[in-house]
Amino acid sequence: MRTIGIIGGGQLGRMLAMAAARLNFRTIILEPQVDCPAAQVANGQIVAAYDDPAALERLAAECDVVTYEFENVPVSAAEMLARARPVYPPPKALAVSQDRVSEKQFLNGCGIETARFHAIDSQEQLEQALADFSGKGVLKTRRLGYDGKGQRVFKGASDNATGAYAALGGVPLVLESFVAFEREISIIAARGTDGTIACYDPAENIHRQGILHTSTVPASINEATAEAARLAATAILTALGYVGVIGVEFFALADGTLIANEIAPRVHNSGHWTEAACVVSQFEQHIRAVAGLPLSDGARHSDCVMQNLIGDDIDDLPVWLAKPNTLVHLYGKTEARPGRKMGHVTWLA
């Protein structure tokens, strides 16, 4: 039996460990939080920081292959591990995705359109960039932002930008132009060690306060738009020499064309629907990929809607359990806090 190391102990690591167990793999979690959601279902946990050299050495010694559940793993840690064991997705994918400017430059290099953007390293640069965008845009930290954190929206010249650079920490930022989109979609795709690529159907996503609320499949897009999403994902996976599952988010415009928003080199929240509506979920697909096993084709057997249970939404659990054709998945978290993902539900149409 082979052992898979997973860096990160949150709900995505938890679901990866569960999928690995079904295929007879052991899993070891590297996570500083004791009794994290992933460790509750894994075979072992190394309690240490993600970049602890001794912990990384131990993880490499105990595992045959290493993966990760979130994109803010230190690149240096992934590179250190990669000198001893296969690390999938490759460290290059982390390096690209951790900086929003590098990410957009990479996407543009793949022939994939993004919003216009300016790198911002000072208040003066911010004001110049806002002038170029007629006072409108979304200011984001270049690194470590997620679920709408580390952002500020400028809706026009009347929005006062004074002190905005310092207010976001005085760190490298990026200002992105507004995109007049009709809907947000995402696609989950995978690439195996043999270069095989498989895509799931695109999902249509609705966010609330910067956090994903629902993913609906099929998305309200035509086949040409869906094919464009598949082609973009294929180009990204190929350019990175990728192995594993990736999530790619897009803005869909009125004419059906796509603007890429961001990539996530991991299993993705907007792919949770696959565990209810597909024979092989994104989590099993990722385990298959990193273990060198054949990929599923990603086909779905049902239409569905996935909804995140965030904070006090967990109080509605009895209602969801009573709903027909509904899969409920909780994450092993004991304390519900505002904005905290406690679980998700997927109901089949």
User: Is 172 found in the same domain as 200?
Assistant: no
Would you mind telling me the total number of residues written for the chain in this entry?
Answer: 349
Q: Which amino acid is at 240?
A: L
Q: Which amino acid is at 249?
A: E
Show the tokens assigned to 175: 């200002």
Average pLDDT for 270-274:
98
Burial class of residue 169 in the structure, from the number of CB atoms within 10 Å of its CB (0-12 exposed, 13-18 middle, 19+ buried): exposed
Residues 6 or more apart whose Cβ sits within 8 Å of residue 234: 189, 197, 199
Confidence of residue 160 (pLDDT cuts 50, 70, 90): confident
Q: How far apart are CA 139 and CA 112, in angstroms?
A: 21
Give the range of the structural domain holding residue 14, as residue numbers without chain letter. Answer: 3-87
Count of structural domains, the chain: 3
Position 149 scores a pLDDT of 62
Average pLDDT for 247-252:
98
User: Is 120 found in the same domain as 212?
Assistant: no
Residue 175 phi, psi dihedral angles, 5° rounding: -105, 120
Average pLDDT for 167-178:
93
For helices 100-109 and 223-240, what crossing angle results, to 10°? 110
User: Is 121 within the bounds of a domain?
Assistant: yes
pLDDT tens for 10-66 read: 999 999 999 999 999 999 999 999 989 999 999 999 999 999 999 999 999 999 999
User: Is 195 found in the same domain as 264?
Assistant: yes
Tell me the average pLDDT of the chain. 95
Q: How far apart are CA 193 and CA 293, in angstroms?
A: 8
User: Is 221 found in the same domain as 340?
Assistant: yes
Tell me the pTM. Answer: 0.94
User: Is 164 found in the same domain as 192?
Assistant: no
Confidence of residue 146 (pLDDT cuts 50, 70, 90): low
pLDDT tens for 67-101 read: 999 999 999 999 999 999 999 999 999 999 999 99
User: Is 95 within the bounds of a domain?
Assistant: no
Q: Is the peptide bond before 294 cis (omega within 30 degrees of 0)?
A: no
